[in-house]
Amino acid sequence: MTRQTILILDFGSQYTQLIARRVRENKVFSKIIPYHTSAKEIAKMTPKGLILSGSPASVADKKSPTPDKGIFKLGLPILGICYGMQIMTKMLGGRVKHTKEREFGKIELFIDNNRDLFSHMPGNFTCWASHGDYVTKLPLGFSTSAHTMNAPTAAISNSNRRFFGVQFHPEVTHTERGSQMITNFLFRICGCLGRWTMQSFIKDAIENIKKTVGRRDKVVLGLSGGVDSSVAALLIHKAVGRNLRSIFIDNGLLRKDEPQQIKKVFRNMYHLNLDYVDRSKRFLIRLKGIQDPEQKRKIIGEEFIKVFEEEAAKVKGVKYLAQGTLYPDVIESVSPGGAPSSRFPGPGLAIRIIGEVNTERLNILREVDRRVIEEIRNAHLYEQIWQSFAILLPIKSVGIMGDDRTYENVVALRCVMSLDGMTADWVRLPFEVLEKMANRIINEVKGVNRVVYDISSKPPATIEWE
């Protein structure tokens, strides 16, 4: 039986991966493709339906990303989300206007047509929106399906052509009936059966790797210790065994004892062919004096590629280069047990140190971070919390320790709950846990005399500070 697939045209939204996940949670396979993929290529993939993602762009921009107009002639069901709805409206003859009155965050949605996408839903519920463009004229054959207090057209539909659009984001958890909307699109509109499983995907992935690589060809992979490259390494290792050479680059920005832990897990537990390369001094030299977070990320990424290319060139007979995946559901299905906490940013501690990164500040943050995790574990909260970490701030404060006045560093603690990392809420930690953390940090970590707790949710804040 041919696998049923929903194709997601990616216009650059931060939520595109999340849309793919929501589809897969319904046991329907999803695949993300570039927004400019031709209608001819899409037809060859024989999808059951298309989803047009959101985008940071505006349809009012002259160079706004535009799909092949032929996709609207394929006879496929289409769901446009936020920008996806706007670009569909524009390309089919409607009008979209940019306005200063943005809708951002939670909004109340009022249903005008409870069929199709909104079947079996209440008359109003909360959704999550993030847009500054509005549909002012519907394309021919479309009608309004829902509205908000600020947007007369918050959802549109053309049931005959099976085209639907929503001005909000059903894929995020803040939208109360978002999962049901996606389910309605998949099963009521696209006619999917829901027989796909993640285990079948993993099995197929391993078989495809075997067919592609063969028995003798070698693969080289840059292993950072993060979840993306770890998942890729394990999948490829299951397919080709010792023909995979994983290169673990220590950039000096990892947590306390993490390099040793990564080597132990992947060499001893999973028996990977692992090369360890310590280039921590090289990374820190490049980061000297750099304070801008985006510049830090860029330097770390560039240097990682340079080091990896240098080390990969030393491995003889390599035919394939492997890289990690970004699919959250694949990650959760294959993540290595015993490895360090997977939810750790690629640039490491560099973006948890606000301002310049140096050896002294890294050592302080490592010691603070270790005590945060220890106390979260001691309180039996580690498996319940999405992320727990510390941030070293670029300020100092006056304190009193014993009879002496001090002028030391301030650290912020951050603990959040989330289902997908796209939205998050701060954790209401018991006061006694916070007290233990603060006392241990101030008493045991030299150079810190004040601890604060971050009670910001995402949005409007992000999980990380940089």
Catalytic residues: 82, 169, 171
Interatomic CA distance for residues 313 and 310, integer angstroms: 5
In the chain, what are the helix, strand and coil shares in percent, each to the nearest 5?
35, 25, 40
Q: Name the DSSP letter for residue 116.
A: G
First-to-last CA distance in the chain? 47
Can you list the alpha helix ranges (DSSP code H) found in 1-135? 16-25, 39-44, 83-91
Strands 78-81 and 218-223 turn out to be: unpaired
**Residue 428: helix, strand or coil by DSSP?**
coil
Name the residue with tokens 């804040």. 461
Name the residue with tokens 């992947």. 266
- How buried is residue 161: exposed, middle or buried, by Cβ count under 10 Å (0-12/13-18/19+)? middle
How many Cβ atoms are within 10 Å of 329's Cβ, its own excluded?
A: 19
The widest CA-to-CA distance across the chain, in whole angstroms, is: 79
